[in-house]
Amino acid sequence: MSIRSTRRDFLKQVAVVAGATPLFLSRRAKAQESKFGDLRIAFIATGGIAGAHIGEMTRLGVQCPCYCEIDETRMGGAASQWPEARAYTDYREMLEKEASNIDGVMIGAPDHHHYPASILAMEAGLHCYTQKPLTHTPWEARRLVKAAKDNPHLATQMGNQGHAGDAWRHLYNFIHAGGIGTIKEVHTWTDRALGWWPQGMTRPEGSEPIPDHLHWDTWLGAAPERPFRSTWESNGPEYEDRGPRYTQGQQVYHPFVWRGWQDFGTGALGDMGCHMMDGTYWVMDPGYPTTVEPLLVEEITDEAYPLEAIIRWTFPPRHGRPGFVQYWYESGLKPEKPEGVEGDWNLPSNGSVWVGTEGVLLFHGSGGPIETFPRELYEERGEIPQILEFCPGQDHYAEWLNTILGEDEAESNFVYAGGLTEGVLLGSVAMRAGEKFDYDGATMTTTSAAANALIQKEYRDGWGFGLDMDLAKTPEVAVPAGAMDGRESLRRPWMP
C-alpha cells in the first residue's frame, strides 16, 4: 500500500518535531553515546564551522585522537573537549602519522583545502565528511566522485545539512506528483554575500608580520603565495546604496572573509548554492548542463568574486521530461514575479521559485514551507504520495556515523554531492570567464577558452594530490549493488 501524506499532516509533523527538539536531541545523544563511542574522528580545522563539527561529535559521543588547525588560537574547543588529543597545524602531517589511529575525518577548512584534505584522507582509507562546497573547482568535484565510486566502503558526506531533512523530500514528492505540472524554470537566490563578507575588492598593497599563532604558509595551501595582511586600513569604495564593500579594521583573509577571494573561496554561489540548489539536483536529477551563461556580473575583479550576479544554466531533457532552465541570484537580487501570478510577491531572503506548466511554487529557504500560485494547488491538494518516504528526526551527522557502522547510507555522499558541486561551480566559472559557454560533461570541456582554464587549477608544490588522472577518459565506475549494505565486512582492519 502506498504511503500518502497531506499538506496538513506535513505541517503538523514539522511543528511537533520543532517543539520537541531539545528533549528529542538530549534523548538521542544519550542513546547514541555508547553506540558511537568506539568511533575515532579527527578534525581538519577546529574554528568557524568546524566548531559545529566538534559540538555535534561531542553530542554523539565519538572519540577524538587528534585534530588540526592552522590558527592556534582557535584550537580551544577541541582541546577542552578532548584534552588528551594530539594537536597538529598541518593535516598532511597529521594524516601521515595518525591514519592508523582514526576512522574518519571532518573537514571544515576554507574551500581551497576541501579537495586536498578529502583526497588525502580517502587515499589513507578514511571515512570523510567535508563541508560545502565539496571542492574549489569542477574538476576536483569530479575527482572526488570517482574516488567515492572506487571506494564504496568509505562513508562520505558533504555538509549540506538540509539534505537529511523532510522539507526537500516533501518538495520532491509534490513536484513528482505533478503539483505544478512540468517544470520549466527554477529561480534560486540568496542574501549572501554583501553584508556577510566582502566581494568585488582588489588585493591590498604591502604586508604585515605574520602572528606567531598563525601558520600562514600552511593556510595558503594549494593557493599561490601572497603576503599576509590582517585588516583593511580604510573603508572600501561605496557600492550603490549598500555602503562600503569592506570596512576599516575588517579582516582581509582570515577568518571567514576568505570566501570572497577566488584563490580561497567560491563566493556566494559556492557558499550557498550547495544548500539552495540542492532541491534542483535532488528533485530534477538534471545531469550536466548544456550551457551556462552569466546574465549579470557586477564589478568582479581579477582576484575577487562580484558584488552581484545572475547566472543561468540550461539543462537537457532527461528521464522523459523536457529540459529546463535554472537561474541564480545573489547579494539580495531576486526574481521578478512570473507572468500570471496575482497578488503580493513577497520573497524571503533565501529561497527558490519553481515555474511549471500549471502553476508557480515558492519554496522558502532550504527548509520550506511551500506556497503555490494559485494557492489551491497546494492548500487544497489533499493527499501527496510519499514517493520519497519521510525520515522524521533524521540526524545529518549521525547519518554519516551510522553509514560508517554500515547501518545507513549517507544521502549527501560524494557521488551525489560531487555532481551538485560541479554544477554549482560551473556558475562560478561563468562569472569569472565573463561569457556564455556550452558544456560537454563527458569531456569536461567548454566552448570558452577562458572557462576551460578555470575547470581545473594549478597547485603549489606539496599540495597537488591525486591529479594524475584524466577524468574525461576514465571509464565510469558503477557502485556495486549492495556495496553500502553490510558494511561490517568492509570496515578498516583496525576498527573495533
Domain boundary assignment for the chain: 4-164+396-420+456-490
Nine-digit cell string for 279: 532541491
pLDDT-based confidence at residue 33 (cuts at 50, 70, 90): low
pLDDT at 114: 98
The residues with which 313 forms a beta bridge, in sequence order, are 292, 326
Of residues 209, 272, 208, 232, the one with CA closest to residue 424: 272
pLDDT at 394: 85
Distance (Å, whole) CA 463 – CA 34: 38
What is the residue-averaged pLDDT of the chain? 89
3-state class of 482 per DSSP? coil
Instruction: Give residue 317's pLDDT.
Output: 97
Alpha carbon distance 128, 61 (integer Å): 18
Predicted pLDDT of residue 409 = 92
Q: What is the helix (H) or strand (E) element at residue 5, kind and residue range?
A: strand 4-6
Report the pLDDT value the prediction gives residue 346, as an integer from 0 to 100.
Answer: 93
What is the pLDDT averaged over residues 328-334? 97
With CA atoms as reference, report the closest residue to 185 among 318, 338, 330.
Answer: 338
Q: Who's near 270: CB < 8 A, 6+ residues apart? A: 111, 133, 259, 424, 425, 428
| Residues 149, 479 contacting (CB under 8 angstroms) | yes
Q: Which CATH number does 4-164+396-420+456-490 carry?
A: 3.40.50.720
Name the residue with higher pLDDT: 469 or 91: 91
How confident is the model over 101-111, as pLDDT tens digits? Answer: 999 999 999 99
pTM over 0.75: yes
pLDDT in tens, 164-173: 989 999 999 9
Angle at 397 between CA 396 and CA 403, to 5 degrees: 95
Provide the pLDDT for residue 14.
40
Residue 460: half-sphere exposure toward Cβ, Cα within 13 Å: 13
Distance CA 71, CA 48 (A): 11
In this predicted model, what pLDDT tens digit does every residue of 411-446 receive, in sequence order? 999 999 999 999 999 999 999 999 999 999 999 999
